[in-house]
């Protein structure tokens, strides 16, 4: 029962996010701050993870190809496919659900328990627009993060391939360029935009509507991470089914 209630409340929040907008001169500053916190602040961890997981994907693929009839460039091909289709958009989004999501839930939740949200509402400000909308706009730059993840994932694969002696640079590059389907990129970025929306709104929902004190802020962050991940995994399944099959 509470699931249905929460889903309903979530969609009302999404609608309220666009109502009664905050003055642009104030909103501008909020958006820039959220771009700094959510996007720029995530580059480091995303770059690190992408590079090394790209490398591991390559090593795993190479080690599992024992048949000498299979051409060496397949390693590059497999790395590209898994990085672009799943690893960069989905796997990185789950990581971001932990990093960005818990940041959003705890910062909004803290504002709730210390009555800062009440203070906004007393002044007649639409607190949902004030707090959630800038995060939504900031995360519209999320595809940029994912592009970097794709690039570094493939680069990490290349490094691992050459360093581990699994194939030559030429073979890897040939593989990466093999049978390239532009729609796969479109598919990956459609997913990315949907996940960005989930990353901005689901953690905000759990922060905004939490009750209690500091302990509950921690619990809300955990709950938000779980449900953000669940939403991403389910939407990934649905989008893949709709667009690729």
Where on the chain is the footprint of other proteins (CB under 8 A)?
Answer: 22-23, 25-26, 33, 110-111, 114-116, 118-119, 121-125
Residue 15 gets which letter from DSSP? H
User: Least CB distance from residue 52 to other proteins, whole Å?
Assistant: 34
**Which two three-digit tokens encode residue 45?**
């961890």
**Which two three-digit tokens encode residue 94?**
């789950």
Nearest-10 crossing angle of helices 43-64, 142-163: 40
**Closer by beta carbon to other proteins, 40 or else 63:** 40
User: Least CB distance from residue 33 to other proteins, whole Å?
Assistant: 8
| Sequence-distant (≥ 6) Cβ neighbours of residue 188 within 8 angstroms | 84, 85, 88, 89, 146, 150
User: Least CB distance from residue 115 to other proteins, whole Å?
Assistant: 4
Q: Which of 119, 107, 131 is nearest to 30 (CA)?
A: 131
User: Least CB distance from residue 123 to other proteins, whole Å?
Assistant: 6
**Closer by beta carbon to other proteins, 16 or else 121:** 121
CA 4 from centroid of its chain's CA atoms: 25
**Closer by beta carbon to other proteins, 22 or else 82:** 22
User: Least CB distance from residue 125 to other proteins, whole Å?
Assistant: 7
Spatial distance between the Cα atoms of 46 and 142, rounded to a whole number of angstroms? 11
Spatial distance between the Cα atoms of 192 and 80, rounded to a whole number of angstroms? 17
User: Least CB distance from residue 114 to other proteins, whole Å?
Assistant: 5
Q: Which long-range contacts (CB under 8 A, 24 or more apart) does 115-121 make?
A: 117/208
The answer to whether 13 and 201 have CB atoms below 8 angstroms apart is: yes
**Closer by beta carbon to other proteins, 118 or else 170:** 118
**Closer by beta carbon to other proteins, 9 or else 173:** 9
**Closer by beta carbon to other proteins, 122 or else 181:** 122
């Amino acid at each position: 029962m509470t699931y249905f209630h929460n889903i309903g409340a979530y969609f009302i929040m999404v609608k309220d996010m666009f109502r009664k907008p905050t003055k642009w001169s104030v909103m501008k500053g909020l958006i820039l701050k959220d771009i700094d916190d959510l996007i720029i602040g995530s580059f480091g961890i995303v770059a690190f993870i992408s590079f090394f997981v790209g490398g591991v994907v390559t090593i795993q693929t190479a080690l599992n190809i024992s048949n000498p009839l299979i051409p060496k460039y397949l390693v590059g091909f497999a790395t590209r496919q898994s990085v672009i289709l799943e690893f960069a958009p989905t796997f990185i989004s789950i990581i971001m659900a932990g990093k960005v999501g818990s940041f959003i839930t705890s910062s909004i939740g803290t504002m709730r328990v210390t009555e800062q949200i009440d203070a906004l509402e007393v002044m007649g400000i639409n607190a949902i627009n004030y707090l959630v909308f800038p995060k939504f706009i900031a995360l519209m730059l999320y595809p940029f993060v994912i592009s970097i993840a794709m690039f570094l994932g493939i680069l990490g694969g290349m490094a691992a391939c050459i360093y581990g002696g699994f194939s030559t640079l030429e073979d890897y590059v040939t593989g990466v360029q093999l049978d390239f389907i532009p729609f796969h990129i479109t598919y990956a970025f459609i997913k990315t935009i949907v996940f960005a929306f989930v990353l901005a709104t689901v953690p905000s929902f759990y922060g905004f509507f939490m009750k209690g004190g500091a302990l509950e802020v921690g619990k809300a962050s955990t709950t938000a991470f779980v449900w953000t991940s669940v939403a991403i995994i389910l939407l990934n399944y649905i989008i893949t089914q709709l667009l690729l099959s």
